[in-house]
Amino acid sequence: MSVQQTLIIVKPDGIAKGLIGQILRTVESNGLTIIDSTRLHLDRSWVENLYGSERSQVYFMEVVEWVSSAPILLLKVQGEQAVDKVKWQIIGRYPDGIRGQYSENWIKNVAHAPDSVQSAEQELEQASHFFERRKMMDETRLQGKMVFALTGMSECGKSTVGKHLDSKGVKRLKIVRLFEKVRDKWSPPDQELYEFLKEQEERDPYTLWDAFIEELLTEMERIGTNVSSIESLYGGGLGPYLKQKLGHHFCILFVDIPVDEIRFRRQMQRENLASIEDAKMYLLPRDEIKEKSGIPALKEIAGEIVDNSGTLQELYRVIDTIVEKYLK
């Protein structure tokens, strides 16, 4: 099996129908990874070049008009046999795949993907400057900024780390508060935050997460800081997306207590519980929720894994070293 890269263009109708979330989930379920993305309005001449081999077809001008009529989403996908998986299993031919389920006709057919390794290489080369331009724009906006995202299992010490970072000038922000600001702009004020996030992530998570980034940067500007921590990073796609979009201006701090016995004893003392078993009954159901939400997977992409099984002073020394490393 060979690792390949390919391209997906989510067309205007794919975006309008709220299919981005479904496409992303299908990509992941096929063992593939989205390694870059950008949203833009394609120039007509670029689209003509993309479909150049079909110039003699009667539908050529109509498809060019449609794909260049409104913003699209470009996805760079990587994985084993990515070209065939994306083209024939994910996007699919009629009546299979995303196209078979949601296409209106041969023009409004949700998404485009190259049909061979050669065409994938060619189209990725054609689209490369779009990804580079977006990265340059992001770098300009993020210059001088740094964001630490705190995560970990239940009662691992995230709040302790956040408070210590705050004492070192790394302003402590709550992820839930930032998402509440997004919700208040997008939906009725009485909609539960969980329902709002679930609905938006199913439909178009990238738009939601881009709005989160906007709120984060706006809040950092409002409080006059270039360095912040966000707490607590939940599982799923947000962490990888922030890592992709913010690049070296972002670091996931996974706070870990490798030995559960230590965590249970600390919880017993903190809550004045009678036994280790009582602490387990308190923590294990919460751990199960964390596991189902994908928190352990964040450890695999964390920039720093913080061992919090020692003393408080040892924890502070580790955090101080990390701050010095990233803010030097």
Model pLDDT for residues 10-45, shown as the tens digit of each residue: 999 999 999 999 999 999 999 999 999 999 999 999
Q: Which two tokens stand for residue 270?
A: 């903190």
For the residues 215-242, what does the mean pLDDT come to? 96
Q: What is the largest CA-CA distance in the chain?
A: 79
Q: What is the pLDDT of residue 228?
A: 98
DSSP conformation class of 132: H
Same-domain pairing of 62 and 120: yes
Q: What is the pLDDT of residue 1?
A: 66
Same-domain pairing of 172 and 82: no
Strand order in the sheet with 111-112: 33-40, 72-80, 3-10, 111-112
Same-domain pairing of 170 and 252: yes
Confidence band for 158, pLDDT divided at 50, 70 and 90: very high
Catalytic residues: 112
Model pLDDT for residues 280-320, shown as the tens digit of each residue: 888 898 889 899 989 999 999 999 999 999 999 999 999 99
Same-domain pairing of 156 and 292: yes
Same-domain pairing of 314 and 287: yes
Distance CA 239, CA 244 (A): 9
State whether residue 113 is helix, strand or coil.
Answer: coil
Q: Dihedral of CA 55/102/75/203: which sign?
A: positive
Same-domain pairing of 57 and 125: yes
Confidence band for 164, pLDDT divided at 50, 70 and 90: very high
Same-domain pairing of 21 and 162: no
Same-domain pairing of 200 and 291: yes
Same-domain pairing of 122 and 151: no
Distance CA 130, CA 82 (A): 21
DSSP symbols for 234-248: -SSSHHHHHHHHHGG
pTM, rounded to two decimals: 0.92
Model pLDDT for residues 54-107, shown as the tens digit of each residue: 898 888 999 999 999 999 999 999 999 999 999 999 998 767 789 989 999 889
DSSP H stretches of helix in the chain? 12-16, 20-29, 44-50, 60-67, 82-84, 97-102, 117-142, 158-167, 175-186, 193-203, 205-222, 238-246, 260-270, 276-292, 295-301, 312-327
**Residue after which a domain boundary falls, among 121, 139, 157:** 139
Q: Which two tokens stand for residue 177?
A: 């508060």
Nearest to 162 by CA among 322, 325, 308, 319: 319
Least confident of 91-95, 118-122, 142-146: 91-95
* CATH number of the structural domain spanning residue 289: 3.40.50.300
Exposed / middle / buried, residue 283 (Cβ in 10 Å: 0-12, 13-18, 19+): buried
Nearest to 72 by CA among 21, 16, 123, 27: 16
Q: What is the pLDDT of residue 271?
A: 86
Nearest to 8 by CA among 22, 300, 271, 17: 22
Same-domain pairing of 10 and 125: yes
Distance CA 240, CA 201 (A): 14
Confidence band for 48, pLDDT divided at 50, 70 and 90: very high
Domain that holds residue 270: 144-327
Same-domain pairing of 171 and 151: yes
Q: Which two tokens stand for residue 126?
A: 């054609």
**Residue after which a domain boundary falls, among 139, 164, 188:** 139
* CATH number of the structural domain spanning residue 10: 3.30.70.141
DSSP symbols for 184-253: HHHS-TTS-HHHHHHHHHHH-HHHHHHHHHHHHHHHHHHTT-SEEEEE---SSSHHHHHHHHHGGGEEEE
Model pLDDT for residues 240-265, shown as the tens digit of each residue: 999 999 999 999 999 999 888 888 88
For the chain, the domain total comes to 2
The letter for the amino acid at 244 is Q
Q: What is the pLDDT of residue 173?
A: 98
State whether residue 100 is helix, strand or coil.
Answer: helix
